Amino acid sequence: MFDLSGAYRVQNKHFYQQYYGFEHKNTDWLSQAVYGLAEWNADQISQAQLIAVPGCYPTVSQLSLKPLVEAGLLDSTHWPVINATSGVSGAGRKASLTNSFCEVSLQPYGVFTHRHQPEIATHLGIDVIFTPHLGNFARGILATITCKLKQGVTENEVRQAFETAYQDQPLVRMYDKGLPALKAVVGTAFCDIGLAQQGEHLIIVGAEDNLLKGAAAQAVQCMNIRFGFAPTETLI
Q: What is the DSSP letter of 12?
A: -
Calculate the CA 103 to chain-centre distance: 27
Q: For residue 83, what are the β-bridge partners? A: 131, 144
What's the rounded Cα separation, in Å, for the pair 82 and 123? Answer: 15
Kindly list the catalytic residues. Answer: 56
From the list 175, 186, 172, 183, the residue with the least C-alpha distance to 221 is 172
What's the rounded Cα separation, in Å, for the pair 9 and 50? Answer: 10
What's the rounded Cα separation, in Å, for the pair 53 and 41? Answer: 11
What dihedral do alpha carbons 32, 167, 127, 147 form, nearest 10°?
-170
Asked if residue 213 lies in contact with residue 59, where contact means CB atoms within 8 angstroms, the answer is: yes
Helix, strand or coil, per DSSP, at residue 42: helix
What's the rounded Cα separation, in Å, for the pair 149 and 212? Answer: 31
What's the rounded Cα separation, in Å, for the pair 140 and 59? Answer: 12
